[in-house]
Amino acid sequence: MTVKADQCRRNILDLLCHLRAPDAIHVLQSMEDRIFVALSQEFIDWVLTCCDEHGDLRFSRAILSTRAHPGVLKCWRETVTLCSLQICLHEDKIELDIDIGGVRTDAVGVLVHAWEVLWNRLRRRRTDPFAVRRLLESRRGVTVMSAAEEAV
């Protein structure tokens, strides 16, 4: 696993802990901007209880382009302006990633996300997990361990 993939995994797992998600999450694959975890009915039930359909605005259903997100059956996005968790349900796994801009909240979130996508496409890169870590800590109050801190 690369250092960036490890930091991305750490970011997402620590944000999930901060959000009080179920503990039993089995990571199948880590990439520098997202992780894939095993299907878990407990996790899906948790997402649904946090969804606006059930009276809470923590997550809302998201409509995604099937071209940009092949194989996604359903998707939810956290309703915050910065460091928005996106949860995508596939047939055999769950995809989790954190976008710097939260498109489900306000104009600031939409503009930040549009800039993030454009900037990454122009540079042919993915969202920097170290930048996400800094924002999670400074803007969301989430304590995220780095790979070096975890090894100690």
Q: Is the pLDDT higher at 113 or at 76?
A: 76
Instruction: Please give the Cα distance from 68 to 109 (Å, whole number).
Output: 19
Average the pLDDT over 28-50 and give the result. 92
* Domain range enclosing 69: 3-144
Is 149 part of any domain? no
Is 73 part of any domain? yes
Per DSSP bridges, beta strands 35-38 and 74-78 are unpaired
* pLDDT tops 80 at residue 102: no
- Domains held by the chain: number: 1
* pLDDT tops 90 at residue 128: no
Is 152 part of any domain? no
Is 115 part of any domain? yes
